Structure 1
Amino acid sequence: MSEHYPHIRIDMLFAQRRLLKIRESVSITFYMKRSHQEVVQHVLRALEVYRRAVKPPSLGWYAHPYNEDWDELDDKGWAYIRQHMLEEPAAYLWLSESPSETLGYEFLYDGLLLEIYERDPASQVSFFLPTEYLEEHGPGRVRELAMELAAELPFNSGHAGLCFHFPGAVLGITRPIRDLSFRYPGLDIPEARSATLAIGTRIDGVHWLNFLGQPVLEELGGAEGLRARLHSPSSTVQELDAERVVVSLGKWPEAGDTEQGHTLPAYRELARVLEPWLYMARPVEPSFSEEDMRRWERRFLD
């Protein structure tokens, strides 16, 4: 176990084989209140930044956009993906290191056609790294990569930090992490698709790195207004441009540990500042009760 987070590896039995399905990883996620065709070129450039950072064969497979069967990500696969992304009015893309196990490297994109939805949708893109990458390259390099990705994307909000990493399509897969999620508040439970349908320009929780854009940053009083509200010595506000900032909560991402009294006070302080803008309407995970889900969403507030 690292001093900053637990070592989580949970195997599950599939077709008489024990496969690694749940682990701790680093997720870097951005939400964009724009339709797919408005952001596709930005997303493709960000994907190239990620590919250069992780190097092949870290992404070796892709789920076919129409049936989610896994195909090998060779030159033909890359050509198909690019064509699909550029031509379709909306696109879903899932790239992974393995078609059967959760090994750490993964790319997820849900590019929506916003006008067909009645709620408050946003397109979403997520980049995953195993914590082994964090240990090998250090938090400075992970932060640098998150900043490089942010520079390519017209985001309204985003974040980077620790998470429970698992394939969301497997029914009931969150059962083993229910108790762990309350013990380690700094480990996010990623919402690969459902948050996109209603998050709009709101903020998806508090994390190690918190990317804030419009309109939330303006409503907070800009970078200076936000700085004035944060007093934790580990919290810093860095302007990316006139419209966007990143709030960093310490040198390393931290999981915390409520059993040891490590409640992540800097995270709690930022959560209180951002509370009016936080997205608090996650669908209930199959292994969580409604009360559990709402309590987990408010883990830095109550």
Structure 2
Amino acid sequence: MRHPNERNAPSVVRAVELFRERIRPYQLAWNDTGDGQAEPFDDASWERTRRKTLAPGPGRSGSLMLEGKSGTVDDLLVDYRGPDVIPLPYPERADDVCVLYLRLPTEFLEERGAEQVRALALELAAELPFNSGYVDFVLCSARGDEGEALKLIRSRYPGVHLAASKATMSVNTWVDGVHWMNFLGQPVLGKLGGVAGLRECLSLPGISLQEMSGDRVLITLGERPEVGDVEVGQRLQPHRALARLLEPYLYRRKPLFPFSPPIPEEVLRWDRRFLE
């Protein structure tokens, strides 16, 4: 969301409240208070965090991080980063935008089914002034561990997205890859000729387009997220068609800081695997 926190925060708070309600009996258990400490997450904790996100104070960004019981990468996570000014007045952070990252455990998909996950994503996205967003089956990794994580999927499962374990802010208005559910807004949707232009270019079976309010669209590839098992001949042709269309607007990972290690070339190649 390439808007400052002041505009996004009310929508983000509503989306998080909906998320908490819709995922029950799954529950968020811990609240990262932002000072290196975590407190048990309850209604009082949420009220404090909600107020801080809505009105963080002069010169302060809105943020929240809520975790499941285990705090591991296969558990629930809500991570919102909301700069108070966009773009930020620092060259190395000129691409930072507000990001809401929501993670569900795989068990949620298995128990509720893909249709309920899709309905939840649509309900949440409708609350947010997004430029882009996605829903997918992902393998999460901490920064610096992407190469090790990639070894688990590279030879067999091109449908699995290699995702960071927390929100990535440096996406500007680029599109973060090709996924099962692809939410597109401006400016990329306009550059593609709007919904009419998408319909003309994306006519393969398995691709559905759903117009959303605010000149936005949802592109869904198949009935459920597919891992793309190459051993059974899955080619994920809808993913490849969308990747070709989005190629000029795809996000390219970059180090968190100028002094951080470079992103491994094999990881960058994986992000462009549907273009090969």
TM range (shorter): 0.7 to 0.9
TM-score, normalised on structure 2?
0.88
Whole-Å separation in 1 of the counterparts to 2:20 and 2:54? 19
Question: Is 1:63–1:95's contact at 8 Å kept on the other side of the alignment?
Answer: yes
Structure with higher strand content: 1
1:196 to 169, 172, 184: 169
Cα offset, 1:139, TM superposition: 0.9
**Matched ranges for 1:1-302 at <5 A:** 32-55=1-24, 58-67=27-36, 69-88=37-56, 89-113=60-84, 114=86, 115-118=88-91, 119-166=94-141, 168=142, 172-174=144-146, 176-182=148-154, 183-191=156-164, 195-197=168-170, 199-241=171-213, 243-283=215-255, 290-302=264-276
After superposition, the CA RMSD in angstroms is: 2.3
Question: Is 1:37–1:90's contact at 8 Å kept on the other side of the alignment?
Answer: no
Cα offset, 1:90, TM superposition: 0.7
Q: Secondary structure at the match of 2:275?
A: coil
CA offset digits 1:10-35 (Å, max 9, x no partner):
xxxxxxxxxxxxxxxxxxxxxx0011
Question: Is 1:159–1:208's contact at 8 Å kept on the other side of the alignment?
Answer: yes
Question: Is 1:124–1:196's contact at 8 Å kept on the other side of the alignment?
Answer: yes
Q: Cα gap change, 1:297/1:174 in structure 2, threshold over 3 Å: closer, same or farther? A: closer
Q: Which moved more, 1:290-299 or 1:201-210?
A: 290-299
Whole-Å separation in 2 of the counterparts to 1:257 and 1:176? 20
- Identity over aligned pairs, percent: 38
Stretches of structure 2 lacking an aligned partner (at least 5 in a row): none
Cα offset, 1:263, TM superposition: 3.1
Q: Which has the higher contact order (CA 8 A, sep 6+)?
A: 1
Cα offset, 1:56, TM superposition: 5.1
Q: Cα gap change, 1:185/1:47 in structure 2, threshold over 3 Å: closer, same or farther? A: same
Cα offset, 1:185, TM superposition: 2.0
Cα offset, 1:243, TM superposition: 0.7
Whole-Å separation in 2 of the counterparts to 1:158 and 1:289? 22
Q: Cα gap change, 1:192/1:90 in structure 2, threshold over 3 Å: closer, same or farther? A: farther
Stretches of structure 1 lacking an aligned partner (at least 5 in a row): 1-31
Whole-Å separation in 2 of the counterparts to 1:206 and 1:100? 27
Q: Which moved more, 1:227-236 or 1:73-82?
A: 73-82
Whole-Å separation in 2 of the counterparts to 1:57 and 1:238? 29
Question: Is 1:238–1:246's contact at 8 Å kept on the other side of the alignment?
Answer: yes
Aligned to 1:15: none
CA offset digits 1:39-73 (Å, max 9, x no partner):
00000000011011112551011122122x22110
Question: Is 1:36–1:90's contact at 8 Å kept on the other side of the alignment?
Answer: yes
TM-score, normalised on structure 1?
0.81
